[in-house]
Structure 1
């Protein structure tokens, strides 16, 4: 049976000291690498050149990064960035919007089609959405690893307790704290006597550096640390209460405190979108491969717009709003931006069927 999981991986693959190699960056780059190889295959099958794919890849990388960044700036936090324009360039702090990326890609592909007269705008749109779908799968996987764009709380068994923010906030609370980890209880024995009041039990393990007195550790843990655990930024991921069960043990001179609480399972919205885009990729590639020579221009593009942004519209009901102003909207920004793209998808599909009838 499915059961809730506690998710708190490191966002980086390796810490190089001066910088970190992060999973998100790797998956983002991998999306373009895989996409380029697929486009080589598509262009070869349709009599185009590898040089055109190389130029297309350059256009796509630049357009996606700039479009996604400016999309976030303009759609979600214009006041912040317009008052501090230099922050626009701090992409490592996060803040990329898929709708902005889509706008950037549309502009870039128009310029690309103008450069190559044997490639029409709708022709390249139909092919590019195939690889955009697989790239979106990898990017949303990166979002999941980063514990960002999280879903709303759910009572379902497959919910995910995102523990990264809990670990980060506790880790920087005191210099004596050497390590923090949150996980499911490792064995049933540790839950004896408390399992009845915990629906989704989690254990927060705090390792204090060697040399710290047990009494001092207890005093800090049961006062300042417990106070921090009541912070709203932590209780949205795990609830420990004002008098949680705490176990202490000493190992190799270190004091280890284990605090038991109730996790808050949430929808893994990133995975919903990622998996949906993977199946959308399979569908689009199948349709292209089956009837590429007779495919009416705009058909695949329309299917992608409806599938990607139509599902995005509904998934937004399961996700937390990204910025505070969305709380006062009937629909959040992601939903408002998705509506015209879905309608555009309907338009292009109807147009493609009408074009077939005229042939």
Structure 2
């Protein structure tokens, strides 16, 4: 049809290259870049704060495990609870049992809100083990979370998943995800990625220019802004599961509200008089 000639047609690109049955996926590469770039940036932060690279290596292990486990459990419990509550073992296996037996699916289903909960849990465990103040380390770790989130959303775009709602065909950046349908849509994944990149710049500049901000202030700004971005962009994204169609706001927005409220509390609470270490 003529009215969709000028929109961007995206056919998807799952694999960077494939050799036989083995392939390296763009989505996997984006996850890898998220961790590598975050590590490089956090190494700068740790050096500035007088912390060792060994401390960062230990933190990275905690965060990696917390992110993967949290993201997986978050998807299973928030979005497909009815299915996985009857098949709990499949939460942790890259297989799903179908009519023709078990099939390899990978870990098909990761939820960012679950990842957030997993990261906070891992951060708490790390802080307790190393006797580091939780708020102090949270104020530093969140500097890199937005850029990591941007990489993940770009990976979602490559996979033609978490697609946006139908858009005006005259919108210059409307995208037709040809693997899905022929409807011009908002590139919601890229909206979110751009928002996260801008938030990363804001937090990084604020940190560089303010050596001693109120404890929890950066963490609070991060929570309000990141989950505020998520809440807003959800208006331009299709619901992930059918049950969300009957909700006033979808699951992604509902799960964002507690994080935003926690962020507001951290921003406006009175600063503790005891210096954090």
- TM-score when scaled to structure 1? 0.69
Taking the aligned partners of 1:43 and 1:158, their CA distance within structure 2 comes to 39
- After superposition, residues 141-220 of structure 1 pair within 5 angstroms as 141-155=154-168, 156-165=171-180
Q: Does 1:30 align with 2:33?
A: yes
Q: CA deviation at 1:93?
A: 4.8
Cα offsets for 1:12-47 (capped at 9, x unmatched): 111122321000001101110111111111011111
Q: Which moved more, 1:4-13 or 1:266-275?
A: 4-13
Q: In the TM superposition, what is the alpha-carbon distance from 1:358 to its structure 2 partner?
A: 9.6
Residues 1:268 and 2:187 aligned together: yes
Q: In structure 1, what is the equivalent of residue 197 of structure 2?
A: 278
1:83 deviates by: 2.0
Is the Cα contact below 8 Å between 2:71 and 2:115 reproduced in 1?
yes
Counterpart residue number, 1:87? 90
Deviations 1:150-194 (A, max 9, x none): 0000102321000124xxxxxxxxxxxxxxxxxxxxxxxxxxxxx
2:140 is matched with 127
What is the CA-CA distance between 1:356 and the residue it aligns to? 7.6
- CA RMSD after TM alignment: 1.6
What's the counterpart of residue 316 of structure 1?
234
User: How does 1:1-359 map onto structure 2 within 5 Å?
Assistant: 3-88=6-91, 89-90=93-94, 92-117=106-131, 119-155=132-168, 156-165=171-180, 237-238=181-182, 264-292=183-211, 294-351=212-269, 354-355=270-271
Q: Which runs of 4+ in 1 moved over 4 A?
A: 356-359
Contact 2:38 2:147 in 1 (8 A): yes
Gaps of 5+ in 2: 1-5, 95-104
**1:82/1:12 CA distance change after superposition, 3 Å:** same
Change (3 A) 1:357 1:4: farther
- The alignment partner of 1:355 has SS state of coil
1:83 aligns to what SS in structure 2? coil
Partners of 1:126 and 1:96 in 2: CA distance = 25
CA distance in 1: counterparts of 2:255 and 2:206, whole angstroms: 27
Deviation at residue 272 of structure 1 after TM alignment: 0.5
- In 2, the alpha carbon distance for the partners of 1:27 and 1:103 equals 21
Measure the CA separation in 2 of the matches of 1:336 and 1:4: 32
Secondary structure of residue in 2 paired with 1:313 = helix
Q: Partner of 1:231 in structure 2?
A: none
Alignment TM-score, normalising by the size of structure 2: 0.89
Larger Rg, first or second structure (1 or 2): 1
Question: Shift of the alpha carbon at 1:86?
Answer: 3.4
Distance 1:350 1:150, change over 3 A: same
Aligned residue for 1:200? none
5+ residue gaps, structure 1, are 166-236, 239-263
CA contact (8 A) 2:139 2:215 kept: yes
